[in-house]
C-alpha cells in the first residue's frame, strides 16, 4: 500500500508542477474561447493532468535495481484472461479477490478516465477514445518489453496483449460514460458570447494578480537556470557558484518583458490573460502605463532586487492587498498610483467598433 501511495504522490507532484507551468496559458485560452474561467473545467483539467502522469507512474514505476532485475515473460495469447477467469471461478475462495481478476479489472478501470476526459475536455468521440487508448497502451507495453527502451537488459514487467485489449475497453467505456455529461459541457468550443464584455470582479482581478506573480516567477526561474547552464558551459564556474549574475539576468529579463507588455498594450501579462485593462486617468497614457507597472508586479519585483530591502517588499505586498480590498473592482495599488479605472478589455473593443 505504501508503494501505491508513493506512486500516487509522485503523479500528483509532477501534475502540479506541470500544471503551474501551463496555468497562465490555460487561463488565457479559456478567456479567449469561452469568455471566462470555469472552476469546474479547471478542476477537470487538473484531474486529467494528474491522471496522465498517474498512468505512467503506476505502469512503469518503481524502476528496479539493474543489479537485481528479473526478466519478465511475454503473453502473446489473446484472451488468455478468459481462462484465468474460468480458473478463478472454479477454484476455492472468493473469485473477486483473485489476483488475476483484480488485475483484469484494474486494467479496465485505469483507462476509463482517459475516454472520459477525451470526450468531455477535448470533445472527441468513441473512435478517438479507442485509438488513443490502444496507442497509449502500446507505448506502455513496448516501454516495458524493451526494458524502458534499452535502459534495462530485458523487460522487468510482463508484455501482455490482453492488457492492450482491456486498456482499450476501459477507454471505450469511459467515452460512453461521458455521454451522461450534457453536450454543452463537452469539448472546448469557441462560444459566440466569448467576446461579450463580462463584469469586472475582485475574483477576476485576483486571478490576474496570480497569473502575473506565477508567470514572472517562472520566467525569472527559467532565464536564471538557462544562464547558469550557459555560464557553466562557457567555463565561468565562479559566476555559477555565486549565482548572482544568473539571478540578476533572470530578474531583468522578466521585468523587461512585463514593462514592454504594459507600455505597448496597456496591460500586464495577468491583465492580458483575463481580458482586463486600466483606462482613463489624469496623466498622459505613457506615464499612466509606467505608473501602472511600478504599482503592480513590476514594483514588487524591482524592490525584491535590492539587497536588504526585504521589509519594503513585504510592506509593498501588504499595501497591495489592502488596496485590493478597499478600491472599486479591486483595481488596487496600480489603479491608485496611475489614477486609472479597471474595465473589461472587450468593452473597449466594443466602444471602438461603435465609434468606427
Q: Annotate 23-52 with DSSP letters as a single string.
A: HHHHHHHHHHHHSS--HHHHHHHHHHHHHH
Q: For residues 6 and 13, what is the distance between their CA atoms, to the nearest angstrom?
A: 10
Place of cell 508503494: 3
Q: What is the pLDDT of residues 229-275, one digit of tens each?
A: 988 888 777 766 767 888 889 999 999 999 999 999 988 999 999 99
Q: What is the pLDDT of residues 205-216, one digit of tens each?
A: 999 999 999 999
Q: Which residue has the higher pLDDT, 83 or 156?
A: 156
**What is residue 343's three-state secondary structure?**
strand
How far is CA 97 from each of CA 13, 50, 85, 130, 154, rounded to the nearest angstrom?
31, 28, 11, 28, 31
Task: Indicate the pTM of the whole model.
Answer: 0.81
pLDDT at 1 over 70: no
Place of cell 467576446: 195
Q: What is the pLDDT of residue 349?
A: 66
pLDDT at 95 over 60: no
pLDDT at 346 over 80: yes
Handedness of CA 21, 301, 220, 306 (dihedral sign): negative
Amino acid at each position: 500500500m505504501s508503494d501505491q501511495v508513493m506512486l500516487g504522490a509522485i503523479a500528483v507532484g509532477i501534475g502540479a508542477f506541470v500544471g503551474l507551468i501551463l496555468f497562465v496559458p490555460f487561463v488565457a485560452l479559456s478567456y479567449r474561447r469561452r469568455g471566462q474561467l470555469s472552476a469546474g473545467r479547471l478542476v477537470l483539467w487538473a484531474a486529467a493532468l494528474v491522471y496522465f502522469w498517474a498512468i505512467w507512474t503506476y505502469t512503469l514505476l518503481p524502476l528496479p535495481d539493474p543489479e537485481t532485475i528479473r526478466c519478465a515473460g511475454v503473453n502473446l495469447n489473446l484472451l488468455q484472461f478468459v481462462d484465468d477467469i474460468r480458473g478463478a471461478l472454479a477454484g476455492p475462495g472468493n473469485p473477486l479477490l483473485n489476483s488475476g481478476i483484480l488485475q483484469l479489472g484494474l486494467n479496465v478501470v485505469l483507462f476509463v478516465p482517459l475516454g472520459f476526459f477525451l470526450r468531455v475536455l477535448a470533445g472527441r468521440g468513441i473512435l478517438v477514445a479507442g485509438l488513443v487508448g490502444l496507442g497509449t497502451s502500446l507505448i506502455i507495453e513496448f516501454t516495458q518489453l524493451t526494458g524502458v527502451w534499452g535502459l534495462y537488459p530485458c523487460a522487468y514487467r510482463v508484455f501482455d496483449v490482453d492488457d492492450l485489449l482491456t486498456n482499450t475497453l476501459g477507454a471505450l467505456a469511459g467515452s460512453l460514460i461521458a455521454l451522461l455529461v450534457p453536450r454543452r459541457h463537452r469539448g472546448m468550443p469557441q462560444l459566440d458570447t466569448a467576446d461579450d464584455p463580462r463584469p469586472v470582479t475582485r475574483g477576476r482581478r485576483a486571478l490576474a494578480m496570480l497569473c502575473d506573480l506565477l508567470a514572472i516567477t517562472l520566467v525569472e526561474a527559467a532565464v536564471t537556470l538557462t544562464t547558469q547552464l550557459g555560464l557553466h558551459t562557457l567555463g565561468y564556474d565562479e559566476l555559477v557558484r555565486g549565482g548572482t549574475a544568473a539571478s540578476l539576468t533572470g530578474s531583468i529579463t522578466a521585468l523587461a518583458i512585463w514593462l514592454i507588455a504594459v507600455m505597448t498594450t496597456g496591460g500586464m501579462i495577468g491583465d492580458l490573460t483575463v481580458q482586463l485593462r486600466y483606462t482613463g486617468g489624469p496623466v498622459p497614457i505613457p506615464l499612466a502605463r509606467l505608473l501602472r507597472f511600478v504599482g503592480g508586479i513590476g514594483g514588487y519585483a524591482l524592490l525584491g532586487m535590492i539587497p536588504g530591502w526585504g521589509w519594503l517588499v513585504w510592506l509593498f505586498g501588504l499595501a497591495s492587498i489592502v488596496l485590493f480590498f478597499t478600491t472599486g473592482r479591486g483595481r488596487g495599488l496600480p489603479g491608485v498610483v496611475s489614477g486609472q479605472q479597471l474595465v473589461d478589455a472587450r468593452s473597449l473593443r466594443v466602444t471602438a467598433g461603435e465609434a468606427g
